[in-house]
Structure 1
Amino acid sequence: MTIDEKLMTDILNREQQALADLYDRYHRILWNIARQADSDPSVCEQLVAQVFRAVWNEPENFMQNRKLLTQLIDCCRSHSAEITIKKCS
C-alpha cells in the first residue's frame, strides 16, 4: 500500500490526522496550481481549502485507479474554473 492509499484509507475512516498529513504533502503543489488561475492569495487559499474539504467530505471520489495527485490537481482546476466563471459574471 502506498502512502497516498494509506492516507486515503485513514481519511475514509475519518482520521483527521490523515487529512493534515495529506495537506502537508500536497498543499504547496495545489497552491501553485491555484495561483495559475488567480494571483490573489485569498482566492488561492480558498481553492486549496475547497480541495481538501472535498477530500474530507467525499474521500471515495479520490480513491479511483488514478494517481491521487492527479485527482487533487483536477479538483483544484475544477474549483478554479468555477471561481473564474463567478468573477466574470
Structure 2
Amino acid sequence: MTAHISYYDDKELLIRLSKGDEQAFALLYDRYYRPVAQFIQQLVKSPALAEDLAQETFISLWEAQQQFANVQSLKGYVFISARNHALNCLKRASSELAVKAEIIHHFSALRNDTEEGMLTQAYLDHFSRILETLPPQTRKVFRLCRDQQYSYEDVARRLGISRNAVKKHMVRSMKTLRSAAERDLGISFGLLLTFIHRL
C-alpha cells in the first residue's frame, strides 16, 4: 500500500490529507521532513534544535489536518508552517534566554558554579522522569535517535522494526516531552534541551 501511494503528487496528497489519511501523512513526512529540517536549520543555526522543530512542525500539521482542505500549494503550506514554527520558537527563546542570561549572570557574579549545576541537574532529572513514563520501545527509539544520533534507518535495523514505526515512536516521545516541558517547567522543549546538552 505504501509503495502505491508513493506515486501520489502533492495535489492528490492534499485531498487525502484533508480526509485524515494516515498513510498520506506518512508520505508527506517522508517527502518533506529532511528539506524542512534543513530549512529550519538555516533559521535557528542549531542542527539538534532544527530536528526538534521539524518534528514539532509535522505534529502541528497533523493536529490541524482539517486545514488541508483550504490549501492550494502543499509544499508552500508546509514550508510556511515550518517558518512560522521556527520564528515563534525564536521569539519565545529570546525572552527565555534573557531570563537564562540573568540567571547565569547572577551565578557568575556569585562565582558559584554549583548552583547553576543544580538548576541544570533539576531539569535533567525532570526530563529523565518524563522519559521513564514512555513505553520501553518508544524510550529506546528516542535514546538511539537523540542520544546516539542514529538515523531512523539505523534504528529500524537495530531494533528489527520498520522506519515508519521508528518515526511514530519519535513523534510520540516528542509530543510527550514538549508538553511536559511547557506544562511542568514553563519553558519550551528547545530551551530544556539547551540545558541538558551542556552536561
Q: Could you state the TM-score of these two structures normalised by the residue count of structure 1?
A: 0.81
Letter in 1 for 2:60: A
Q: Matched residues in 1 for 2:73 and 2:18: separation?
A: 17
- From 30, 51, 60, the counterpart of 2:66: 60
Q: CA deviation at 1:65?
A: 4.7
2:52 maps to a residue whose letter is: Q
* Structure 1 residue 10 displacement after superposition: 2.5
Letter in 1 for 2:17: I
Once residues 44 and 9 of structure 1 are traced to their aligned partners in structure 2, the CA distance between those partners, rounded to angstroms, is 28
1:20 counterpart residue number: 26
Per-residue CA distance 1:32-62 (angstroms, 9 max, x = gap): 2101111222211222112211221112323
Is 1:7 the equivalent of 2:13? yes
**Residues 18 and 68 of structure 2 are in contact (CA less than 8 Å); yes or no, is this contact kept in structure 1?**
no
Distance 2:13 2:71 in 1: 15
Conserved in 2, the CA contact under 8 Å of 1:7 and 1:22? Answer: yes
The structure whose Rg is larger is: 2
TM-score, normalised via structure 2 length: 0.40
Q: Please list every run of 5 or more consecutive structure 1 residues that lacks an aligned counterpart in the other structure.
A: none
1:30–1:80 CA distance, 2 compared to 1 (3 A): same
**Which residue is equivalent to 2:41?**
35
Identity of paired residues, percent? 25
What is the letter of the counterpart of residue 73 of structure 2? K
Aligned in 2, Cα 1:85/1:10: closer, same or farther, shift over 3 Å?
same
CA-based RMSD of the aligned residues comes to 1.9
- Segments of structure 2 that go 5 or more residues without pairing to the other structure are 1-7, 96-199
User: What is the aligned length?
Assistant: 88
